Amino acid sequence: MEKVLNVNYKLKLLKGSRIYLIFYVLLFKEAAKATETNNKEIKLKHKLDVYNVKQVLDSKVSKRRHIKYLVK
């Protein structure tokens, strides 16, 4: 979102995120080296319900750490 100091950045995260928003720049570089990407297709065990969503109006994290969305 913005540069706070020479080595700190403020992130824009999901509403309801429970972590501190300002990070030291070297933490990002270390994570990038250790992160592996995977392009495998995910196969679901069950069918998903399909909805015609026009817009996500809001979101929140429940007590059980599930993300809930308010949609239009």
pLDDT of residue 16: 77
Burial 29-38, CB ≥16 within 10 A → b, else e: eeeeeeeeee
pLDDT of residue 33: 64
pLDDT of residue 34: 65
Grouped pLDDT means (10 residues each) for the chain, 72 residues: 74 75 69 66 74 86 86 84
pLDDT of residue 15: 77
Instruction: Indicate the number of domains in the chain.
Output: 1
- Measuring CA to CA, which residue among 18, 20, 16, 19 is closest to residue 58? 16
pLDDT of residue 31: 60
Q: Domain containing 38: what range?
A: 2-71
pLDDT of residue 29: 62
Contact 11, 2 (CB under 8 A): no
